[in-house]
Amino acid sequence: MHTTVEHTLDSPTAALVDDWLTTTETAERLGVNHSRVKQLLRDHKLLGAQREEGFRIPAAFVQQGQVVKGLPGTLTLLADAGYNDIEALRWLFTPDDTLPGTPAQALLENRGTEIRRRAQALAF
């Protein structure tokens, strides 16, 4: 699991996310075992962060028994743009008036193409 300093969540970023899941809760919602959740995190198909109470994953990333459509590709683009996990969380959950809402909300609303376009533009 991620335990380095760069993966420890700061208070302002933590406040952007309303609901967090443990890895066990995430596994239950996805219908997979705990090891599979760890693999999804390692493969950057899912994103979480170390909080005071332990490692947590935004509940918004798991909907209807699946990882939100478009999230893995968006995470890849953000990593390619040089974003670490905390910076990616901050970008995904920071309100953007031009969307409207947050990039995470846009992914939930199946507006992933626009979000991936914006994430790709960050690299330039």
pLDDT in tens, 3-13: 334 467 888 99
Beta strands across the sheet bearing 49-51: 20-21, 54-58, 49-51
**Total residues found in the chain within this entry:** 124
Q: What is the pLDDT of residues 82-96, one digit of tens each?
A: 999 999 999 999 999
Provide the token pair at 3.
């335990």
* The predicted structure's pLDDT at residue 9: 85
> How much is the mean pLDDT over the chain?
91
Strand pairing partners for 57? Answer: 21
Q: What is the pLDDT of residues 59-71, one digit of tens each?
A: 999 999 999 999 9
pLDDT mean over 32-54 = 95
The domain locations on the chain are 5-121
* The predicted structure's pLDDT at residue 41: 96
Nearest CA to 29 out of 71, 72, 66 is that of: 66
